[in-house]
Structure 1
Amino acid sequence: MCNVTCFEQEKVARVKAGLVAEQKLLPQLAEFYKLLGNTTRLKILFALTQGELCVCDVAHVLELTVAATSHQLKLLRDQGWLSMRNDGKMVYYRANSGELLKALHDDLKILETRWR
């Protein structure tokens, strides 16, 4: 605990109350960012901006095994970012969230200009 006197008690109380209200959502937000904090999953999302791909094709793009790729695809699908469809023995994935993908592309453009 801080031993310094609180100078802006009203502001501190307001911020603290806001954090308490948001505290229920913070674990979900942390999970959201944890999923996006993985290079492999980001590659999958960017690959699927090109259109629907089967698991095997995604695995070839990533140079991973089908099992490892399927695991990553499942995590993204569970978040609601991907849709899956079966066609016989083939499983195809496509991106659901155009808004998320647009935000990722916009962020990538910002990083490109920043690191030039």
Structure 2
Amino acid sequence: MEQKPHTPTETEADVCALECFHPRTVTRVQAALAGEAEQLASSAELFKMLGNPKRLMILRALREAELCVCDLAYLLGLSVAATSQQLRILRGQGWLRMRSAGKMAYYRWNDASPLPALNAAVREVCGADDEPD
């Protein structure tokens, strides 16, 4: 009886047989990453923030017009409290500006976003070619 050649499973194919084959390269990369731990954690938080569809809807809506919290809540189908929480997160990252008018809180897109490249990417993803009013 002829034996078939062993085909590695997906798990076997994705794993090296050695613990570390290129120790000098690994050491160099490790040193490069060591100084970036805080920046990487901050970037992960930013991407996590943008990973929420409701937050992206808020960003897209505020590219169209400045809106008060209650109008945004109605638009999103969320409570005012839940909407305020999402707005706090976006504002904390520098994406939005807020102004108060009596008991009303209005939000608008912050064109001076702290991350211009990501700002441009969000504009592209959100489909907003024009500048907001």
Question: TM bucket by the smaller chain?
Answer: 0.7 to 0.9
* Distance across 1 between alignment mates of 2:61 and 2:121: 15
Q: CA deviation at 1:79?
A: 1.4
Q: Is the 8 A contact 1:49 1:101 kept in 2?
A: no
- Which amino acid in 1 is paired with 2:26? V
* Distance across 2 between alignment mates of 1:81 and 1:11: 38
TM-score with structure 1 length normalisation?
0.79
TM-score with structure 2 length normalisation?
0.70
Q: Which runs of 5+ in 2 are unaligned?
A: 1-15, 128-133
Secondary structure class of the residue paired with 2:57:
helix
- Which amino acid in 2 is paired with 1:65? S
Q: How many residue pairs were aligned?
A: 108
Q: CA deviation at 1:20?
A: 0.9
Look up the match of 2:63.
49
Look up the match of 2:23.
9
- Which amino acid in 1 is paired with 2:29? V
Q: CA deviation at 1:90?
A: 1.1
Look up the match of 1:62.
76
> Between Structure 1 and Structure 2, which shows a larger proportion of helix residues?
1
1:20-31 to 2 correspondences below 5 Å: 20-31=34-45
* Distance across 2 between alignment mates of 1:108 and 1:83: 18
Judge which range, 80-89 or 18-27, deviates more.
Answer: 18-27
Q: Is the 8 A contact 2:99 2:107 kept in 1?
A: yes
Q: Say which one has the larger Rg.
A: 2
Q: Is the 8 A contact 1:52 1:94 kept in 2?
A: yes
Indicate the RMSD between aligned Cα atoms, in angstroms: 2.2
Q: Which runs of 5+ in 1 are unaligned?
A: 110-116
Is 1:85 the equivalent of 2:122?
A: no
Judge which range, 82-91 or 22-31, deviates more.
Answer: 22-31
* Distance across 2 between alignment mates of 1:27 and 1:35: 12
